């Protein structure tokens, strides 16, 4: 077993949030490609379909994500996909602060192993994980940030892109930001905006 699989095995038995451990069907560990330092997408938490399938982003938001990835020259074989929470919050509510704190070491350990060239945070929960709860997505999106040793591209969640429709700002922004992440990943020497980070 490699280190990712060893970690995955630990995550699958997690019961740090007893209520989530009791209500989940599957722990959704995430996907990583057989690539070194893959672009890594971070979502919020599994929804109903992900909880059933045990895989991230397999529902409607995931289908849109696949389309936008393809338009950006990326696809599921070239990116890792993980979530802030590995278990579905019942009723798809937003994760609580305590749940995020309890689950934090798992995502930290995943990022250690993945060592991504660039991270894309999808939506408010994943963006807050890096930038802190006080920062609004609108303040930070549209550029590459250096947070500790990571380059981070904060953007909208695909469910916002679904909600606002094909002509809405989130879909165009998400497409643009995924392209930016693909470019940064292809050119490691690119100039970044340097920001004081929390990492
Ligand atoms: N939304 C997320 O944030 N993650 C998933 O895996 C699915 C939907």
**Ligand 1: centre distance to CA 191 (Å):** 30
Domain count for the chain? 1
With a Cβ cut-off of 6 Å, ligand 1 is lined by 43-47, 50, 56-57, 61-62, 83
pLDDT tens digit sequence for 163-181: 999 999 999 999 999 999 9
Q: Determine the pLDDT at residue 134.
A: 85
Distant-in-sequence, close-in-space partners of 49: CB < 8 Å, separation ≥ 6: 58, 59, 62
- Which of 30, 45, 85 gets mutated to test ligand 1 (max ligand atoms within 8 A of its CB)? 45
Q: Determine the pLDDT at residue 192.
A: 45
- What confidence tier does 2 reach under pLDDT thresholds 50, 70, 90? confident
Strands, E assignment, the chain: 39-43, 79-83, 119-122, 145-147, 150-155, 193-194
Please check whether residue 148 lies inside any domain of the structure. yes
Please check whether residue 199 lies inside any domain of the structure. no
Please provide the DSSP assignment of 26-61 as one string. Answer: -----B--SSSS-EEEEES---HHHHHHTSSS-SHH
**Ligand 1: centre distance to CA 47 (Å):** 6
Q: How far is CA 26 from CA 20, 58, 69, in A?
A: 10, 13, 25
- Which of 59, 84, 94, 110 gets mutated to test ligand 1 (max ligand atoms within 8 A of its CB)? 59
Q: Determine the pLDDT at residue 1.
A: 67
Please check whether residue 58 lies inside any domain of the structure. yes
**Ligand 1: centre distance to CA 88 (Å):** 9
Q: Determine the pLDDT at residue 188.
A: 66
Please check whether residue 135 lies inside any domain of the structure. yes
**Ligand 1: centre distance to CA 159 (Å):** 9
pLDDT tens digit sequence for 105-146: 999 999 999 999 999 999 999 999 999 988 899 999 999 999
Please check whether residue 162 lies inside any domain of the structure. yes
- Average pLDDT on 38-65 reads 98
Please check whether residue 197 lies inside any domain of the structure. no
Q: For ligand 1, atom 7, which residue shows the shortest CA distance?
A: 57
Has residue 189 got a pLDDT over 70? no
Domain of residue 143, residue span: 4-187
Please check whether residue 103 lies inside any domain of the structure. yes
- What confidence tier does 41 reach under pLDDT thresholds 50, 70, 90? very high
Q: For ligand 1, atom 6, which residue shows the shortest CA distance?
A: 56
- Identify the CATH number of the domain in which residue 60 sits: 3.40.470.10
Please check whether residue 15 lies inside any domain of the structure. yes
Distant-in-sequence, close-in-space partners of 104: CB < 8 Å, separation ≥ 6: 129
**Model-level pTM?**
0.93
pLDDT tens digit sequence for 85-113: 999 999 989 999 999 999 999 999 999 99
Cα three-residue angle 36-66-157, rounded to 5 degrees: 95
């Amino acid at each position: 077993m490699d280190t990712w699989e060893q970690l995955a095995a630990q995550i699958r038995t997690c019961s740090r949030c007893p209520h989530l451990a009791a209500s989940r069907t599957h722990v959704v560990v995430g996907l990583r490609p057989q690539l070194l330092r893959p672009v890594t997408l971070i979502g919020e938490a599994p929804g109903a379909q992900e909880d059933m399938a045990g895989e991230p982003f397999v529902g409607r938001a995931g289908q849109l994500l696949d389309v936008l990835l393809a338009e950006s020259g990326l696809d599921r074989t070239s990116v890792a996909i993980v979530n802030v929470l590995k278990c579905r919050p019942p009723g798809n509510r937003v994760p609580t602060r305590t749940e995020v704190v309890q689950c934090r070491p798992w995502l930290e350990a995943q990022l250690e192993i993945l060592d991504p060239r660039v991270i894309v945070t999808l939506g408010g929960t994943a963006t807050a994980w890096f930038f802190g709860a006080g920062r609004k997505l609108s303040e930070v999106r549209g550029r590459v940030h250096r947070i500790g040793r990571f380059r981070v591209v904060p953007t909208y969640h695909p469910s916002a892109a679904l909600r606002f429709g094909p002509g809405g700002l989130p879909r165009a922004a998400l497409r643009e930001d995924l392209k930016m992440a693909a470019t940064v990943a292809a050119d490691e020497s690119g100039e970044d905006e340097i920001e004081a980070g929390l990492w």
